[in-house]
Amino acid sequence: MTVSYDGTCYAGWQIQPRHTTVQQKLQEAIQQTLREASIVHGSGRTDRGVHARRQVAHFDLSEPREPRRIFRSLNAVLPSDIRVMSVRKTGSDFHARRHAREKEYRYFIWNDATVPPFLRLYRTHVREPLDVDAMRKAARLLKGRHDFAAFTANAKNEVESTVRSLRELAVRQRGAEIVIVARSEGFLYKMVRSLAGFLIRVGSGEAPSDQAETILKSRQRTARVPTAPPEGLFLWQVTY
């Protein structure tokens, strides 16, 4: 199934003790409507306050059900800030995370003195003018296959490698809105928000664009790479 959600009120995707999460709400809806306890596996985890336009997830049932009926049933009981956008049957070997070929995230910035109130939960507000050309120059240096150890936060667990292929890192502007588009076969913990934090710092003149290469080579996370706020980040789409 594909799922859209407003992450404002949730402690992220993954189930956590004493916190409300998107995965929890989906599993509760399946239990309530289909009378089965099933684990929902997402294509990836999103952090507290991060949104998703097209998260992909799968779950197993003990017997065949009509996808259209599942679609209607889940949306009838889910809170209004979580919506199942589509449901379809797949092969029993399908896995939403392991079979994903590429993910796209988009980070939205509102670069003006004030942010419209109806966008305040979905745009990161930056008041000072940003130099978009400098941001684009830094993005070009970060694009490609690199060791992104300096652009990840400690998730309290080890990863096999911090090398990733950043297939796209684009900075687009339309009026006051600036969008950072990042595509890769996979991202490290808080990698997109770290990239966005650095590009905002470049745009504000706090860091030169060519510092991107130095930071990559250092492999050390420092204050030069802040983690941008969560409200501007959307999991945009997943490709299989």
In CATH, 102-239 is 3.30.70.660: yes
Q: What is the pLDDT of residue 160?
A: 83
Domain edges within the chain: 2-86, 102-239
Q: What is the pLDDT of residue 156?
A: 55
pLDDT in tens, 47-64: 999 999 999 999 999 999
pLDDT in tens, 116-129: 999 999 999 999 99
Residues whose CB falls within 8 Å of the CB of residue 65, separated by 6 or more in sequence, listed in order = 34
- pLDDT averaged over the chain? 96
Is the pLDDT reported for residue 155 higher than 70?
Answer: no
- Rounded (10°) CA dihedral 149, 153, 157, 160: -20
pLDDT in tens, 90-101: 999 999 999 999
Helix residue ranges, H only, 35-176: 67-77, 132-142
Give the mean pLDDT of 137-163: 88
The reply to whether domains 2-86 and 102-239 share a CATH topology is: yes
Bridge partners (DSSP) listed for residue 234: 51, 106
pLDDT in tens, 172-191: 999 999 999 999 999 999 99
Confidence of residue 158 (pLDDT cuts 50, 70, 90): low
What whole-number distance in Å separates Cα of residue 124 and Cα of residue 152?
A: 20
Tell me what percent of the residues of the chain surpass a pLDDT of 70: 98
- CATH classification (class only), 2-86: alpha beta
What whole-number distance in Å separates Cα of residue 4 and Cα of residue 93?
A: 24
Catalytic residue among 47, 60, 112, 147: 47
Q: What is the pLDDT of residue 157?
A: 59
Cβ neighbours of 5 (radius 10 Å): 24
pLDDT in tens, 80-91: 999 999 999 999
Give the mean pLDDT of 8-37: 97
Q: Is 93 a catalytic residue?
A: no
Q: What is the pLDDT of residue 62?
A: 94
